[in-house]
């Protein structure tokens, strides 16, 4: 099943300079002359760094492709290269078809203009003709849900309304290639839902979507394939679930253990069945959590609390391990204590971060607190959303007259 390639990125590197560019006119004039000559060389001058290095990527037509990575990994640079706002230092990028970039929602909005005027302005910026915009105006406005404010200057809009209108315009461009950066992080649940549906319908109508987000749940629900960027290099390309798991594992490894009397050395979430470690689960599965504490002192009355936060950093669960155990937990001096217990992941699809606190409730001492100490990623049927999964099952569906 090889579809034609919509986006081809070949050996692309991008060099940036730290600090101020062009300190003075004296630098500028020689740069004007030598600028093009020097371009394409490998040598890094002082203050220069590679924002992206030797990226090779092919995205098929009609595919939804995700790009994930930490801040500063080069995701936005890659998107800017794709949308031709900046040009690569080396390498070559090919994009087939009409491209629409949703890099910053409402980037072209002018605060003093009304919603309607901004729809026309932003539509033109995104490459729509006036006739096209007029034809789609009602659809755009109702998608954004701001019918009664369409004649109000957007400076009076709430940030949510602003963002919704921005997305609504961009989503109606009908591009062949849509580039989306963090678009789903705006608006409430129902609007995010709408955006996802819109993007899915774009994909099913044959458009290619390149999606960058920190919201791993949104990435995995939309994209079958994914790329992981790490400090300018492409670490992994593959099925979204594998890439997300590699990302979460990599993130945890980078944290170091601080020196306290009782330190949380590791919190690991493991698969109950099958292959040992893994940060990726299906909804409703059970998992084993292993907490390893390293203590220098003795304690007879220790409380270990775990808490779970979702992507919007709402705390959705707290677990008190001493309550689970029914007794106060104890540690010996200069030793390691390992606690293992089982949890049921009654969670909706998405990614979750785990935090851990070790404290003595009597002495009111907090020995260690780490967040995020572990992360996991839940995939599933998407029959439920929100904080908890109530595992709905259909037991009756009949028409009563």
Partner 1 sequence: MSCHCRVKKVHTSGSSNIESRASMLQNLADLFRARELLEAIVLRDVKVRYKQSVMGLLWAILMPVIIVAAGALARLGMSIFANKPFDQSQFASVVVKSVPWAFFVSSIRFATSSLTGNYNLVTKLAFPKEIFPIAAVISCGFDFLIASAVLIIVGAALRVPLGWAVLWVPVALLLLLSLCVSAGLVLSAMNLFFRDVRHIVEVLLTFAIFFSPVFFDVDMFGRWKSYLLLNPVAPLLEAIRSSLVSRSTPDLFWLGYSATIALCALPLSYLFFKSQESKFAEYI
Among residues 232 and 372, whose Cβ is nearest to partner 1? Answer: 232
Q: Percent helix, strand and coil across the chain, each rounded to 5?
A: 30, 35, 35
Among residues 85 and 365, whose Cβ is nearest to partner 1? Answer: 85
Which x/- pattern, by CB under 8 A, does the window 68-97 give for partner 1? ------------x--xxxxxx-xxx-----
In sequence order, what are the beta bridge partners of 335? 295
Cα separation, 221 vs 385, whole angstroms: 12
With CB under 8 A as the contact rule, the residue among 70, 116, 124, 385 that binds partner 1 is: 124
Residue the block writes with tokens 């921005």: 166
Positive or negative torsion for Cα 361, 362, 366, 367:
negative
- Told to check if 300 binds partner 1 by CB under 8 A, we report no
Strands (E), 261-364: 262-271, 280-282, 286-295, 299-309, 315-320, 329-331, 335-344, 350-360
Among residues 121 and 316, whose Cβ is nearest to partner 1? Answer: 121
In the complex, what is the shortest distance from the CB of residue 353 to partner 1, in angstroms, rounded to a whole number?
30
With CB under 8 A as the contact rule, the residue among 127, 206, 258, 361 that binds partner 1 is: 127
Report the DSSP pairing between strands 64-68 and 280-282: unpaired
Cα separation, 71 vs 217, whole angstroms: 17
- Told to check if 19 binds partner 1 by CB under 8 A, we report no
Among residues 87 and 239, whose Cβ is nearest to partner 1? Answer: 87
Which x/- pattern, by CB under 8 A, does the window 326-365 give for partner 1? ----------------------------------------
Report phi then psi at 295, rounded to 5: -120, 145
In the complex, what is the shortest distance from the CB of residue 15 to partner 1, in angstroms, rounded to a whole number?
10
Tokens of 136: 């789609």
- Told to check if 135 binds partner 1 by CB under 8 A, we report no
- Told to check if 5 binds partner 1 by CB under 8 A, we report no
In the complex, what is the shortest distance from the CB of residue 295 to partner 1, in angstroms, rounded to a whole number?
52
- Told to check if 49 binds partner 1 by CB under 8 A, we report no
| Cβ-count burial 27-55 (b if 16+ within 10 Å, e if not) | eeeeeeeeeeeeeeeeeeeeeeebbbbeb
Cα angle, residue 7 at apex, residues 3 and 12 outer, rounded to 5°: 135
- Told to check if 199 binds partner 1 by CB under 8 A, we report no
Among residues 124 and 319, whose Cβ is nearest to partner 1? Answer: 124
Interface ranges with partner 1 (CB under 8 A) = 10-11, 16, 21-22, 25, 28, 35-36, 39-40, 80, 83-88, 90-92, 101, 103-104, 107-108, 110, 112-113, 117, 120-121, 123-127, 129-130, 153
């Amino acid at each position: 099943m090889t579809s034609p390639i919509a986006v081809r990125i070949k050996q692309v590197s991008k060099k940036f300079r730290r600090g101020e560019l062009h300190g003075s006119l004296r630098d500028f004039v020689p740069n004007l002359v030598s600028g093009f000559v020097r371009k394409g060389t490998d040598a890094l001058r002082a203050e220069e760094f590679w924002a992206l290095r030797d990226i090779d990527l092919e995205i098929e037509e009609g595919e939804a492709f995700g790009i994930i990575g930490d801040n500063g990994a080069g995701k936005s640079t890659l998107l800017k290269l794709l949308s031709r706002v900046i040009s690569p230092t080396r390498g070559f990028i090919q994009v087939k078809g009409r491209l629409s970039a949703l890099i910053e929602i409402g980037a072209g909005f002018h605060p003093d203009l009304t919603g309607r005027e901004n729809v026309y302005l932003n539509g033109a910026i995104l490459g729509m003709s006036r006739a096209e915009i007029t034809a789609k105006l009602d659809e755009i406005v109702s998608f954004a849900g701001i019918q009664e404010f369409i004649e109000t200057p957007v400076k009076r809009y709430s940030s949510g309304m602003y963002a919704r209108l921005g997305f609504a315009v961009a989503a109606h461009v009908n591009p062949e290639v849509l580039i989306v950066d963090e678009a789903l992080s705006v608006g409430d649940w129902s609007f995010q839902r709408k955006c996802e549906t819109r993007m899915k319908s774009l994909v099913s109508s044959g458009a290619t979507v390149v999606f960058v987000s920190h919201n791993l749940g949104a990435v995995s629900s939309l994209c079958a394939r994914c790329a992981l960027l790490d400090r300018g290099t492409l670490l992994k390309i593959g099925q979204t679930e594998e890439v997300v798991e590699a990302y979460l594992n990599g993130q945890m490894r980078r944290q170091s253990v601080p020196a306290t009397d009782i330190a949380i050395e590791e919190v690991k979430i493991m698969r109950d069945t099958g292959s040992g470690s893994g940060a990726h689960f299906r909804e409703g599965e059970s998992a084993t959590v292993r907490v390893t504490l390293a203590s220098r002192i003795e304690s007879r009355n220790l409380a270990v609390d775990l808490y779970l936060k979702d992507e919007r950093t709402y705390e959705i669960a707290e677990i008190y391990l001493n309550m689970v155990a029914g007794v106060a937990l104890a540690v010996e001096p200069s030793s390691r204590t390992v606690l293992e217990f089982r949890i049921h992941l009654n969670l909706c699809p998405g990614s979750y971060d785990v935090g851990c606190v070790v404290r003595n409730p009597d002495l009111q001492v907090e020995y260690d607190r780490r967040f995020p100490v572990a992360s996991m990623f839940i995939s599933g049927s998407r029959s439920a959303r929100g904080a908890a999964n109530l595992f709905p099952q259909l037991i009756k569906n009949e028409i009563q007259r």
